[in-house]
Structure 1
Amino acid sequence: MDTNSKDLSRQSADNDNDLLGVIFVLLRGWKIIVLFAILGLIIGILYARYENPTFKSDALIQIDETSQNVSGLGSNIAELLPPDDSTVQAQIELIRSRMVLEPVVDLLHLGIRLNDPAVSQIDRIINNQTNVQMNTAEGVVLETSNGQVQVDQFNVSQDYLDKPFMLSRTDTGFILSIGSEQFKGQLNKAHRFKGDSGLIEITVMDLPTGDYPITITKQSLQITTDSINSALSVVEKGTKTGIIELSLSGLNQEQASLTLEQVVLSYIAQNQSRSSEQTINTIEFMEEQIPKLKQELEASEAIFNKFRENSGTIDVAQEASILLSENAGIDTQIGELKLRKAELTTYYTNEHPLVIQINDQLRVLNARKQEIDNTINELPEVQREFLTLSEDVNINREIYLTILKNYEQLKIVKAGEVSDARIIDLPINTYRTITPKKQLIMLLSTLSGALVGALLVFIMNLLRNVVKDPERIESKTGVPVVATIPRSTVLSRLSTNKQSAPRMLAHIDNSSLSYEAIKSLRTSLILSTPTAVADSQEAKLFLVTGESPGVGKSFISANLAEVFAQLNKKVLVIDADMRMGELHKIFGLSQYDGLADYLLLDESTESSSGPNNSSAAQIRKEVGVKHDSDFALENFIHPSGMEHIDFIPRGKHPNNPASLLISDKFDALLTALKSQYDYIIIDSPPVLAASDAMVIAQHADQVLMVTRYDNSMERQLTYAVKQMYKSDIQVDGIILNDVKQGLMSKYSYHYSYAYGNNK
């Protein structure tokens, strides 16, 4: 359990360190991030000024899901018309169709595009807004700096579509050109030109004065409608509301409103035409059918009437009923007459007038009954034919009357018919800019620039791989970091003044962490010196070098000498960087009469010991030596102005510094100096810049490699150490110089106090 807790704690600490490392990398590169943020802001401002403002117009349409025009008048007539499928999604697609948009394109001449070539991208940025064309039913107008362009008509053949023409004014009119073709015409007059690729129809009303060409293009219908659709938004407002919201964006508020209004009107007209078309087609069909049905009805009635005339009857069914009733009446009468006759014959004979009268009546009634019976017996065959003809007449009459009724109803419908689409709101000019949103663009561009800067900082950090972590340095080089020297804020502040000379920490910042770190380095060097060397009477020689220039080796050498001198030890500082050494500036001395001068003069003396010593005299003259006594070593060792510290400057720049250092004269010089001092500190050129450090290291008791925090490259430091190893030289320690303290430096040990008087 304890082991797991420790692992979790270690993992959490590593994560915190990684997060802090990322934060510190960003903080160290804040200048780059701010620079790119400013660049992003500038780009955002330029873009906001370059882009023309975009405006938007809105409109609302209500769609009735089902039409009530016909069904409201009755189910019979509604069944005659096809069902009306007018869902909102279908209407949205109809609004976007060429069927609706093409009339708008033709009415407003939206296929004509005018462009002013004189307006450059710089002009768009400077002016913040450029003129755009206005398409109306009268024509197309574009304002320019030299006047306006107005074209009322421009139609071309298929091969000329989407190809730019140049239009310019002349003294007599205008010139229209494309390629090698030119056409001349007059203003305010319609022209029809015949070109190599077809016909061109154009009417130019006005053009800018002077030599001011304008580009004019006739777009194809497909490109124009696609352009409208790209700027047109058609959506249902809400869910199943039947209300469609249309919005159109454009560079001209008036143009957007006008175009959207015409789109709405075109859709309503198409919708109205579609609804009326159904009714009109039905009426036309009925008008064609009514005369035919009337003829059929008249023919069937004529045949029926002729049958009735031939059969001698009016209505077979009714006549049969009359005959039966009459037959029944006759039977009743006969019965009554027989009863009366029976009564009369009781009193009278058959010759009695009353009996004779009854017999006559009975004879008439029986005859009539026989006639009725004969008629009834013949009735079924006639009735079948009668019923067939009667049914034809009834059917034709019913169809004719139904169609006639529906025809009259449809005429009423057509008179009061309305569209199933209703305009709620037509577009109005709001003059509110929807894009570019300048504040948002500038904010996003600034953030984008900052992100690019942060990414660049990370990339630079990965590519540079600068020296930061002492533990990483030790693992990469195999050399211990013997000291980390924090940056002295006072010294850094003074160093910003290039005219001021470098100063010693003991003089200006003797209570700082930097000074204490130099003392710690001194202690480390004393304790790490081998016992045999420490007990020797000869001086301990420390070589201070670096992997590249600018790491602060001269600063370390001078201040290290000062803290050694505090031990009442005699210290000699030698500036062996005979090319670019600057230790003399720290001590406030001259660079001449130094190491290079001594080695050159010493060499010249030996080489000119013969009879002819004119070259030696010449060298004496160049360096200002008048007597041979001036060649004494003491003349090249200068007091530094600080107690117990002497200094040998670099001298005059020689042509062969490495040759001088590798000579026996330099060995003899160090041998002589070791007997006179307790510590000798040699500041040498960088390892990667010259081989001088490798030569001097042969004589050193300890070799110290100075590297600069957050400046030196890890690969250069590692390579310098390897180069020393290849020369059989051991680097005894690395000094990490100029460590920046505070939160911005992850690997600086965040000292918050200095031991001693910290003022």
Structure 2
Amino acid sequence: KISLVAAAGALSGAFTAVEYPNYSGILNVGFSAGEPEQAATILNAILDNYQRRNVERKGEEADKTLEFLEKQLPPLKARLEAAESAYNDYLREHGTIDITRETENVLTSIMEIENELFTLQQERETLRSRFKPTHPKIRSLDGLMATLTGKLRTLEQQTEALPEVQQTVLRLSRDVEVNSSLYSRLINAMQELRIAKAGTVGNARIIDYALPPTFPSAPNLRKTVAISILLGLFLSFAMIFLLVKLRHGIEDPDEIERALGIPVFGSVPFSNTQRKIAKRINRRKTRVRPLALEAPDDLAVESIRSLRTSLHFLLLEAGNTILLITGATQGVGKSFLCVNLSLVLSQAGKRVLLIDADLRKGHLNRLLGVEAGKGLSELITGEAERDAVLVQMQPQGLDFIATGARPPNPSELLMHERFSNLLHWGTKQYDYVVVDAPPILAVTDPAIIGTHAGASLLVARADINTLGQLDESVKLMKQGGSNVRGIILNGILPQRGYRYGYRYGYRYGYRSEGKYVDTSESQR
């Protein structure tokens, strides 16, 4: 034996009902079973039971309504008798009193509203047996009743301007007329309900009973094979399309400028030497030096030197010398660019403050070969002083502040006044303040920092990031109150340098012949 719940679940899973044609009120029902006769028998039993319950439910609703009306009848009759008695007594005492047409109109309006309120009250009591007070139907009735009650109060206020005698006559007449009308309607409603209950029929009718099916409904071999073929083709095309989309990242700086209207300040080629350095860092090797120190004549470093010149003129027009560097996504090389750009700036005789503001996954200390310790998060929370977190690097002129401990609320810390004060202090003490921020598509931190920066740069990885990602990144920064002033395209393969202009293409050509010649062509 199985439980009632399990049996109901099994029946529900095998039962189907679809309205066909649409909006016709006709249901096409079906039931799946192991044997044709069993399927037809169970389905017909479900239909008969549904029709029987439909009739019973109609009768139950009539009983509840009739019970409510029967309870209302005695007190209503008593109110009617009391109203008639009071009205007759007043007339005997004061004689016949004429009332104006205006008073008659007010009386008629009051009676109509009282009747409507009574009807709505009946309907509400009927619905309460089926729904909770918060149900939309009941709340709708409550709204209508409140509106009518307001109109009734307005009419009652109008009667206050009438002479006292007419007010009394109007009130007594109203009580008689309203209670008489309600009493008559209540009697009629009860009679109609008794008649309806005696001949109760449901509003559901069985058009055709089920017959045992001739053919099985499942499995449909032809349909299964056809669906399998179509699904296989769809998945194949979807996989091909996905692979193409994944591989179709940006690779042309001119394409970026045309699409976004933002200049590309530099294109940094892929560096095999940097890849080896990254492997040593991942293996936690000691004495790891950044690329600008390890291989100062590497093509990537030369491109960053070209970028240094562009940034010099960019920050001359900015409000301050704070440079924010972020990326659309992680893994685009923004931290690599922050470290090596700071180094080439300091090598040019500039005082540079490098801040790792990626309080979630910052790791500039590993790129610089600095031990982890207290940093920006402790400085903002007041757990450490500025001098305690400031690390002087070699060559001289470059100071560094690491992230410190991972806080639970990075965004809130970056909005703290101490962070703003640190940046302001940096602009007074250094020629450049370079801030490494987390990816903008991942968190809102770059937009927060960008409000302090004189210029914000977005790093994109060739063949990885798409134009859509860059466009969304620019929009997010703008929504946060910071405009992206330029884009750095990182990780371009050398052969594509020839293909897409002279940003570092000529330099690569001269370098391959064993000699480097600095020309103005390399800056273009």
Q: TM-score, normalised by structure 2?
A: 0.49
Higher percent of residues as helix: 2
More strand by percentage: 1
Structure number with bigger Rg = 1
